[in-house]
Chains A and B, each alone.
Chain A
Amino acid sequence: MAKGKYFDGLTSSEHEATINASLQSLGIIISDSYGRPKFLNWNLEDISIEFNEFAKRVELESKTEPGKSIELELSEYLSIQDQLPKNLRLDIRQNPFKKLWIFVAISLFLLAFFVFGYFKILPFLAEKVAMNFPENYEKKLGQSVFESMKNDLDIDSVRSHDLQLFFNGLGYDDPKSVKVFYSKTEDINAFAIPGGIIVVHKGLLNAMSDYTELQGVLAHEFVHIQLKHSLRLLFRSLSSYLAISLVFGDINGILAVIIQNSNELRSLSYSRAMETEADIKGAALMVERDFDPEGMIKLMETLKTHSPKMESEVLKYLATHPDLELRIDNLEKAYPNKANTLNADSLIFKNIFLNLKNER
């Protein structure tokens, strides 16, 4: 015998119900609104028995008379369960503590998996995608980024032309694939955009004292392009955004992020490993062409003289560009003998360089 509540589906009145179970039917005694007993007989074939795990109650519902239902506390149900035929008995495993522990275990596992995926798998996949990204899309992407920056850069087309000649003469690559631009802004900087665009700022050119430095900076930026450094960075940051949005279940956000990110290339900064790689491989490229790798070192020194002084060691450590000191060290280790190997065209390079520096 179990005590429960009976609802007739017509009004919200609660009726106390006493339920007796047998193998064929439920015998239900309810008291009506005047307190008089009323007898019901529900055929077991005509009812559904369900455990509501959140309300922690068992619900019996009549299939023939929709809306009529009985609600039992779990303990009440268990007291009549044994009288029900086996196929109708509920499989209730109600152990809240066990469930919480399963939750904790799954959470920890997920956390571990996520950390591993985030730091190991994701960068690996991003790298793969970046390296297999179709070249014409890369060019298109680079072009649109460049277009969006163009106004701020204040490009000088005549000097850009000279700079292009200078670059083509270096023979680092098929001349058609890389476009070089001269920006009239005073930044002591140069940068590369995926798909093959290099921009050198006036500030940097004027700070240089030697044409080999220009050979150096172009070699450095060219390596960034050749090794798809910014594309790799883009996919890395994109993939972490994707992972995070996915976990928080935000599809809308993912698409927005993709659109946004392709325009944020500029704000990405290379990792220390990438900068060092560009230095060393750039210098190697110079040696290969019989240019003086010392140019790369001189370039670093020029950058060092003009870089804002960093007061504390902490700041130095936090800076995204590896310490110029360190970069110079690395280069000097790689190219200890500073013997000048003169390239046959050095005079031409020198002239273009001086031309670029000239105020016109």
Chain B
Amino acid sequence: MRRFYFADTGNTYALPFILNRILTILTLSLYYPWEKAVQLKYIYNNIMLDGSHFDFLGTGKEMFYGYLKLLALIILFYGSFGVLMALDLTIYAILFIYIMTAIGFIFAVPFFIHGGLRYRWAKTQWRGIHFGYRGELKEFFYLYVKHGFLTLITFGIYYPWFRCQIQKYITGHIKFGHLHFEFRGKGEDYFVIYLKFILLIYITLGLYIFRFWRNNFNFFTNNTVIIDDEKGEKYKLSSEVTAWAFFELKIINLLILVFTLGLGFPWVLARNMSFLINNIEIPVNFSTDHIRQTETDYNDALGEDAIDMLDIGFI
């Protein structure tokens, strides 16, 4: 039997999904954080490790404050833009968009990622043992801006190194009780994955995307290590997912969404989660029986929703 898997096909999420979606629409998206909380609970509660499910302890109310702050930022952004347009200052308006977007990406994004990670991991637990993210905003911010800047001036060539640095920092600061994690991916290896993508995507009429996704997934999984300092052991995660599996996943998901006009989302979500979780292999000698509690509570949901909007998929 598998040690790590996703336990649902989507059936149990169908009804909560549609009820919450309606509420979100009726409240002009103000209800969204609650919808999100239910969705995360659904996801976490169906991720099984050695017979026990994960828990997401966050609440819609906690995330609501973060969401309000984000909404205020968006309204402020479009409001200022609207004012400039109304005053016939089109050139300034365009300039405003450029500058704010640049500032946003360089300064606001690390801020949101940091906040999102802290909240999400603090609210994650398994058999009562808390996860936690111990990254420092200042360090992360500096790292992000420095490597982000290098990516900018190299016209994106540096991106694979940037991505690996960020992943290294984030993974390196995640705690699971007394266990912690490490990311060993090297920029140059990721660069090769990217280079192949750029070279082959057009020749294969886009079909290379599935192989790229495979490479991407395997790269991040195979380079993630669980560390148990007390035992002095390291456990490497692994994945052997194929491009064909990605192809099947995405095509069927697309068909489900199209033919159900989006209402099949719960099943697509479950398919995605099953794919993601079931393809991560945990080493046999890794025992989950004696993980010690070390983390404490944390409450600030700013960033939680930004992560969602920026489409950065941290689970």
B29 at the interface (CB under 8 A from A): yes
- Cα A289 to Cα B68 in complex, Å, equals 60
Residues on the B chain within 8 Å of A57, using CB: 53
Contact of B291 with A11 in the complex, beta carbons under 8 Å: yes
Interface residues on chain B, size class:
35 or more
B76 at the interface (CB under 8 A from A): no
Chain A proximity of B24: nearest CB distance (Å): 6
Chain B proximity of A312: nearest CB distance (Å): 30
B127 at the interface (CB under 8 A from A): yes
Known contacts A54-B41, A107-B18, A107-B263; is-contact A11 B290 (Cβ 8 Å): yes
Known contacts A9-B128, A12-B127, A55-B46; is-contact A99 B290 (Cβ 8 Å): no
Contact of B289 with A247 in the complex, beta carbons under 8 Å: no
Residues on the A chain within 8 Å of B78, using CB: 255
Known contacts A55-B45, A110-B22, A251-B74; is-contact A67 B15 (Cβ 8 Å): no
Contact of A12 with B128 in the complex, beta carbons under 8 Å: yes
Selecting from B6-14, B149-157, B159-167, B199-207, the interface stretch reads B6-14
B293: which of A67, A110, A259 is its contact (CB, 8 Å)? A67
Contact of B29 with A100 in the complex, beta carbons under 8 Å: no
Residues on the B chain within 8 Å of A102, using CB: 15
Contact of B289 with A12 in the complex, beta carbons under 8 Å: yes
Interface residues on chain A, size class:
35 or more
A68: nearest chain-B partner, CB-CB = B128
- Cα A164 to Cα B240 in complex, Å, equals 73
Contact of B290 with A52 in the complex, beta carbons under 8 Å: no
- Cα A13 to Cα B29 in complex, Å, equals 41
Contact of B25 with A246 in the complex, beta carbons under 8 Å: yes
B45: which of A54, A103, A246, A248 is its contact (CB, 8 Å)? A54
Contact of B24 with A249 in the complex, beta carbons under 8 Å: yes
- Cα A302 to Cα B22 in complex, Å, equals 54
Known contacts A96-B12, A103-B15; is-contact A7 B74 (Cβ 8 Å): no
Chain A proximity of B82: nearest CB distance (Å): 9
- Cα A261 to Cα B13 in complex, Å, equals 36
B292 at the interface (CB under 8 A from A): yes
A12: which of B25, B46, B129 is its contact (CB, 8 Å)? B129
Known contacts A53-B12, A247-B25, A251-B74; is-contact A12 B126 (Cβ 8 Å): yes
B104 at the interface (CB under 8 A from A): no
Chain A proximity of B27: nearest CB distance (Å): 11
Contact of B292 with A10 in the complex, beta carbons under 8 Å: yes
A305 at the interface (CB under 8 A from B): no
Known contacts A102-B15, A103-B15, A107-B18; is-contact A7 B24 (Cβ 8 Å): no
Contact of B46 with A11 in the complex, beta carbons under 8 Å: no
Contact of B74 with A54 in the complex, beta carbons under 8 Å: no
Contact of B29 with A251 in the complex, beta carbons under 8 Å: yes
- Cα A251 to Cα B260 in complex, Å, equals 23
Known contacts A10-B293, A12-B289; is-contact A100 B129 (Cβ 8 Å): no
- Cα A4 to Cα B262 in complex, Å, equals 39
Q: Is the interface of A mostly helix, strand, loop or mixed?
A: mixed
Number of A-B contacts (CB under 8 A): 94
Contact of B127 with A54 in the complex, beta carbons under 8 Å: no
B299 at the interface (CB under 8 A from A): no
B101 at the interface (CB under 8 A from A): no
B32 at the interface (CB under 8 A from A): yes
Contact of B126 with A103 in the complex, beta carbons under 8 Å: no
Contact of B128 with A69 in the complex, beta carbons under 8 Å: yes
A287 at the interface (CB under 8 A from B): no
Known contacts A96-B12, A255-B78; is-contact A247 B262 (Cβ 8 Å): yes
- Cα A9 to Cα B45 in complex, Å, equals 18
Find residues 7-39 in chain B having any chain A CB closer than 8 Å to their own CB.
8, 11-19, 21-22, 24-25, 29, 32
B52 at the interface (CB under 8 A from A): yes
Contact of B53 with A55 in the complex, beta carbons under 8 Å: yes
Contact of B42 with A54 in the complex, beta carbons under 8 Å: yes
Contact of A100 with B11 in the complex, beta carbons under 8 Å: yes
Residues on the A chain within 8 Å of B71, using CB: 251
B177 at the interface (CB under 8 A from A): yes
Contact flags A100-124 to B (C-beta < 8 A → 1, else 0): 1011001100110000000000000
Contact of A111 with B262 in the complex, beta carbons under 8 Å: no
- Cα A34 to Cα B74 in complex, Å, equals 57
A340 at the interface (CB under 8 A from B): no
- Cα A317 to Cα B291 in complex, Å, equals 71
Contact of B309 with A252 in the complex, beta carbons under 8 Å: yes
- Cα A52 to Cα B12 in complex, Å, equals 12
Contact of A100 with B262 in the complex, beta carbons under 8 Å: no
Residues on the A chain within 8 Å of B13, using CB: 54
A248: nearest chain-B partner, CB-CB = B262
20 more contacts with CB within 8 A, not counting A53-B16, A247-B25, are A5-B52, A9-B293, A11-B292, A12-B290, A13-B290, A14-B289, A52-B45, A54-B45, A55-B45, A67-B128, A68-B128, A96-B12, A99-B11, A99-B14, A103-B14, A107-B263, A110-B22, A249-B25, A251-B74, A252-B74
| Top-8 shortest CB links A-B | A54-B45, A12-B291, A55-B45, A103-B14, A7-B128, A12-B127, A99-B15, A55-B53
B: which residues have CB within 8 A of A? 8, 11-19, 21-22, 24-25, 29, 32, 41-42, 45-46, 51-53, 71, 74, 78, 85, 126-129, 177, 260-263, 288-293, 309
